Amino acid sequence: QRWRPGDGTTNVGDELNTYLWPRLLPQKFVDIPGVFFGVGTILNDTPPDALRYVVFGAAAGYRGVPKIDNRWHVYFVRDPITSQELGGVTWITDPGILLHHFFQPRHDYAYACSFVPRWDSISSELIEACTHVGIHVIDPRCTVEKVVGEIQSTRLLLTEALHGAIIADTLRVPWVSIYGQRGHERKWAAWCASLEQIWN
């Protein structure tokens, strides 16, 4: 069981789990019974009930951290802040960078400027406003292939979604954060800390 939100929503950050892990991990690892926490700010103090938890790059950021016991197998987390909160476990950075195994930077730009809103910010009004000023909107609820392909084809990316920035960084697409919602500052700061950058 790979963790995903239980409310029926989809977004590219969560969908990276279903895209990456079956392609990169041995099948016997993917099929281990329990809950697999991979890409995303998905560690909190109320994990799904399970006999086994595997953490492979996830981060905390919204509601506390889980109580780690012998059911937890933490290989690494996304950032040094999550690491400290879990008692100093190994951290690397966001596993989304593993997309470089499947997608390469491109220079045949279809869009001068694109915008990736968060999945819960996108609306027909937003798309209409961006289109009016010549900004292409990338819907983060689409498939990984579609979102990545459109980011690859962008000269400059504006992004409200953290994984828009992570994908852009991986594909060497210049990006600028466009902050639309409060309450997400911590995960941006934590991800930047994993790259030894300052978020402000």
Question: Are the C-beta atoms of residues 108 and 144 closer than 8 Å to each other?
Answer: no
Percentage of residues in the chain with pLDDT exceeding 90?
A: 66
Lowest-pLDDT range, 56-60, 79-83, 195-199? 195-199
Predicted confidence (pLDDT) per residue in 48-59, tens digit: 899 999 999 999
The amino acid sitting at 121 is S
- What's the whole-model pTM score? 0.89
